[in-house]
A and B are shown apart, each in its own frame.
Chain A
Amino acid sequence: MNSLSPEVALSRISPELRPLLCSVVRDGRVGLDSSSCLRITDLKSGCTSLMPGPCCDRFKLHIPYAGETLKWDIIFNAIDPELPPDFIFGEDADFLPEPSELAHLVSWDAGKPECLLQLVKELLQQYHLYQCQRLRDSSRLLFEYGSLLEDPNYGHSMEIYAGRKNSWTGEFSARFLLKLPVDFSNIPVYLLKDTALDPGEDVALLSVSFEDAEATQVFPKLYLSPSIEHALGGSSALHIPAFPSGGCLIDYVPQVCQLLTNKVQYVIQGYHKRREYIAAFLSHFGMGVVEYDAVGFTKLTLLLMWKDFCFLVHVDLPLYFPRDQPTLTFQSIYHFTSSGQLYSQVQKSYPYSPRWDGNEMAKRANVYISNTGLEKSQPQSHFKTSFPQFFLRFQFFSRFLNGDYLEDEQLRKLVNAKIPLANFNALTNNKKSFVTVFINLY
C-alpha cells in the first residue's frame, strides 16, 4: 500500500486512536533528519469484518533513521483503545529494548495525544543503542564511534546504522549520520524564503558509509536542508573533500564542519558587504538610482546621462561578493537590437579588487563609468556627464546614420542595410572619414 496522506490515514483510523495518530502524522519528526516526517502505511484492523468502520488499529510506521527507513508495525486494539500498543520491529528481530527504559510505555496514557510519539522517540533511542552495540563486531568502527561519542559536538547528535553482516562475504558495513553543529541562524532570511514548503529546521547532516569493517571504502555525503542548500548556492557549490584513506571520523568531520561554517560565514559576510556596497553607491550616485534590491542587496540600477545621452547601468552583485566581481551592464534607453531587446553590454573586466571597501568600489566604478580617458580635458570626472566610449560612438553613429552628418552615399546605403551594431567597428575601419571623425572625437 502506498503511503497515505495524513488526512486519509486519520479518517480510516479508529476514532479513539485518532488523537494519538494525529500527533504522529502532523508533528511527527523524530531523529536527526527532521525534515522528513513519519509516514504511515498498511492500515489494517484487528476487529472482525462485521465491525463497522472506521476501525483500523494497526499500521506500519516508516521512520527515517541514519539514512535508512525503519518499518515498524504498531498494533493497537480498537476494542480496548486505552491499552498501550505492541510493536514488531521489522527485520530487526533481535532488537528487544528493556521495557523499563520506555517511560511512556510503562505509564501509558491514552488520553495524551503525544504519548505515542514520545514512545516512538524512546524506542528510537533504544534502537540507536542497539545499533551501537552491534558495532562491537568491528573494532575499527567501534573506535570511530567511541571517538565521536567523546566529542560533545557530535556525540549527542549521531545516528548509527550497523548493517547486517553479509553471510557470504562476512563483510560488515555501517553508516554514521551526524548532525553538524553549524550555526545557520545568521543567514539572511531572504536567502531562505524561496522554498515553497515550510523548510523546517535548518540542518546539515553528514552521512558517512563504511562499506567494510576496515574502513577502506568510505563514502561521505553531505545533506542540507533545501533552504540552506539554496542559500549556499545550490548543491554544485558544495563539495566536501573525500574521506582520506586511513583517516578517521574524528578528524574528518570537524574538517567538513569547518568548511561548511566557512561557507556560511562567507555568505553572511557577502550579504553585509553587498549592503555596504549598495549603500556606498547610493551615496555616490544619489539621484541617479532607479531601483535597488533593498532586501538582498543584489541588484542596483542607475540612470546616468552624458551630454544628453541617457543610459542605464545595472549592477549585479554575485552571491560570493566580494570575492566575485560585480557585473556592470550598460543599457541604452533608446536603442533596440534586432531581436527587439534594449541594447546592452555587459562589463566584467573593469578595475576591481575585493579588498576595497564599499566606498572605494563606488568611487572606482564611478571613474570607470565616467571614462576618465575621454575626460582628460575635464579633470573633474563628474559622473552625470560621463558615459562609456562606445555609447559616444554609437550616438554619433546614429546621428550620422540618421542623416545629420550624411555626406557619403555609401553611408546612406549602410543605414538602409541596417547593419548590426556589432559591425560598426569594422565599418569605421573601412572608411577613413569615419575614422577621421572618430579620431577627432576620441
Chain B
Amino acid sequence: MAASISGYTFSSVCYHSANSSSDHEGFLLGEVRQEETLSISDSHIGSSEFLNVIEVHNHEPCAQLFSFYDYAGNVNEENLNRILKDRRKNVIGWYRFRRNTQQQMSFREQVIHKQLTHILGIPDLVFLLFSFISTANSSTHALEYVLFRPNKNRYNQRISLSIPNLGNTSQQEYKVSSVPNTSKNYASVIKEHGTEFFDKDGVMKDIRTIFQVYSALQERVQAVCCEVDQSERVREKIQEEVNKLKEEIALRKRNSAEEERRLQEAAAVTLPDNPALPDSSHSSLTQVMLSGPSVEPSLERPVNSSSPPIYSTTLLPDSPSAILLPRPQAVGSPGHPSPSLGLGNGDGSSSDSLNRQATGQEDQEEDDDEDSSEYENLVSEQLQLPSLTETVTLGRPATLWPDGDAHSPPGS
C-alpha cells in the first residue's frame, strides 16, 4: 500500500497543527484507488500486482480535543457526524499532532482508531501522526510525520507517504496529480460559465457537435451504401438479361450458320429452290427462339452467394465459341474457380474468382464491346433478320453509366 498527499493539503494540515496551542487532531478525506502493475520478466511469466494507493485530498480539523470521544476513548457517533457532516463517506483516515512525543501510537489513539474503523466501516483506516520536536533552545524545530496502518499486523504498520513534486523539480518532471479540485470557488465559477461549454449533462458541447457531425456522416455513408446496393442489384439484373440475350444471339448465330451451311450444301448438290428465307429464317429464328439454350444459364449471380458458377453448366465443349462463352462472373458472384478451360489471365496463371470478378467486369465490358462488335457482325450478317435485330436492339440498351443509373441509349 502506498499513500500520497498533495502539497497544499499537507501544508494546510501542518499550518493548522503548528498554530494550535496544544495537541491537535482531525480527519483525512480522500479516496483509495487500486493500481495494477503488469510486469513481464525474462521468464515470460507475466505477473500483475495490485497496489492500493491512498490519496489524501483534504482534511477536516477538529476544533478541540475530545470532541468526538470521551475519557475512556469511546467514540460518539453523533458528534462524529456533526463534525464530518456529508463528508463522512470521503474519510480515509485521521491525524493527530503532538509536540515532543515519540513517533508511536498512544494508548488512546489505538482505542479510538479501532472504534473509528468499526463505525466508519473502513478496514484500512490510516492514522497520520505528526510530531513536532524542538531543541531546548528552540533553535531547531523538526516536523516529523508517519502514516500508520494500525489494522495490519505490527510488523507492517507504517506506510510511506509521498508528496508529489516535493523535491527537485529541475531534475524530475512536474507531476500532475489526480486529486480532484474540491474548491468551492472553482465549482461556482464553472457552474456560472460552464453553460457556454457544457450542456446539461456535463458533457462539453464541442464534443457533442463533433459527435453529431460524425453521426451525420455515418448516416450518409449508410445511405450511399444502400443506393450502391440497389444500383448494383439493378445492374446485376440487367447484366443477366444481357447475358441471356447474348446467348440467344450466339445460338441463333450458330443455327443460322448451320442453315447456311446446309443451304450451301444443298445448293451445291441441286438447284436451290427459293425458300422463303424469312419464313425459314423466321422458323429458324423461331426454332432458335424455341430451341433456346436448353439449359438456360441461370444468370442469377447473387451477391456473395456460394452457388457454383453457372457458366460451367452451359459450356458446350465442342462449340466453336466455347472459348468465348465462359465469361468471368459478374460483380458479387461467389468466388469459386471456374474451369480453367480457356480461362485465365492470359499468362497461364489462374487467379481467384474475386480477381476474376474484377477482371470479369472488365471482361464483360470488353465482352460487351466484343458482343457489340459481334452483334454488329451479326447484324451485318443477318440483315434480313429484323426481328432478331429488333430484339437484339431492344436488348441492347443496358449500358451502365458511371453515375450508377441505368440510362437507355439515345434513340431507343
Contacts and interface: CB of A to CB of B under 8 A. Distances in A.
Contact of B106 (A78, A86, A106): A86
Nearest to B135: A49
A44 B72 contact: no
Interface string B89-125: 0000000001111101111111100000000000000
B22 to A, nearest CB: 4
Interface stretch (A90-98, A285-293, A384-392): A90-98
Nearest to B157: A93
Contact of A83 (B65, B72, B100, B105): B65
Contact of B23 (A46, A51, A84, A89): A46
Given A46-B22, A105-B71, A77 B65 contact: yes
B178 interface: no
Contacts of A100: 72
Interface residues of B, number: 27
B73 to A, nearest CB: 5
A102 B23 CA distance: 23
A20 B111 CA distance: 24
A274 interface: no
A94 B66 CA distance: 24
A86 B99 contact: no
Contacts of B64: 80
B65 A80 contact: yes
B98 A75 contact: yes
Contacts of B109: 86
A389 B72 CA distance: 85
B101 A49 contact: no
A44 B99 contact: yes
Interface in A179-195: none
A106 B71 contact: yes
Contacts of A108: 71
B44 interface: no
A244 to B, nearest CB: 38
Interface residues of A, number: 31
A47 B101 CA distance: 12
Contacts of B73: 99
Interface string B308-342: 00000000000000000000000000000000000
Nearest to A60: B102
Contacts of B22: 46-47, 77-80
A41 to B, nearest CB: 13
Nearest to B74: A99
* Most chain B CB neighbours (cut-off 10 Å) among A73, A78, A88, A96: A88
A44 B111 contact: no
A341 interface: no
Contact of A88 (B72, B101, B141): B101
* Most chain A CB neighbours (cut-off 10 Å) among B21, B64, B74, B154: B21
Contact of B98 (A46, A49, A105): A46
Contacts of B74: 99
Contact of A86 (B72, B107, B138, B154): B107
A350 interface: no
A243 to B, nearest CB: 34
Nearest to B72: A99
B134 interface: yes
B385 to A, nearest CB: 115
B107 A45 contact: no
A58 B106 contact: no
B14 to A, nearest CB: 14
A125 to B, nearest CB: 15
A80 B25 CA distance: 15
A105 B74 CA distance: 12
A86 B21 contact: no
Given A46-B98, A93-B154, A83 B66 contact: yes
A87 B100 CA distance: 14
Contacts of A75: 23, 98, 101, 106
A48 interface: yes
B72 A106 contact: yes
Nearest to B114: A96
Contacts, number: 76
Interface string A31-59: 00000000000001111110100000010
A77 B24 CA distance: 11
Contact of A47 (B65, B99, B110, B111): B99
B94 to A, nearest CB: 15
A46 B71 contact: no
A88 B100 contact: no
Contacts of A79: 21-22
* Most chain A CB neighbours (cut-off 10 Å) among B66, B107, B109: B107
Nearest to A43: B100
B106 A87 contact: yes
A80 B64 CA distance: 10
Contacts of A58: 100-101
Nearest to A87: B107
B110 to A, nearest CB: 6
B138 A49 contact: yes
A178 to B, nearest CB: 28
Nearest to B102: A88
Interface in B58-82: 64-66, 71-74
A48 B141 CA distance: 11
Given A46-B22, A49-B134, A79-B22, A73 B102 contact: yes
Contacts of B66: 83
A49 B65 CA distance: 20
Interface string B266-303: 00000000000000000000000000000000000000
A93 B104 contact: yes
Contacts of B154: 93-94
B21 A51 contact: yes
Contacts of B100: 44-46, 58
A106 B74 CA distance: 10
B212 to A, nearest CB: 62
B72 A46 contact: no
Nearest to A93: B154
A49 B22 CA distance: 11
Contacts of A49: 134, 138, 141
Contacts of B138: 49
A94 B157 CA distance: 13
Contacts of B102: 73, 88
Nearest to B109: A86
A88 B21 contact: no
A128 to B, nearest CB: 16
Nearest to A95: B107
Contacts of B108: 86-87
Contact of B99 (A46, A102, A105, A106): A46
A351 to B, nearest CB: 71
B23 A77 contact: yes
Given A58-B100, A83-B66, A105 B72 contact: yes
Contacts of B105: 88, 93
9 contacts: A44-B99, A46-B98, A73-B101, A75-B98, A75-B101, A87-B107, A88-B102, A96-B110, A99-B111
Interface of B: 21-23, 64-66, 71-74, 98-102, 104-111, 134, 138, 141, 154
Given A46-B99, A75-B101, 7 more contacts: A48-B99, A73-B102, A77-B22, A77-B23, A87-B106, A88-B104, A97-B107
Sorted nearest first, the 3 A-B pairs with minimum C-beta distance are A44-B100, A99-B72, A79-B22
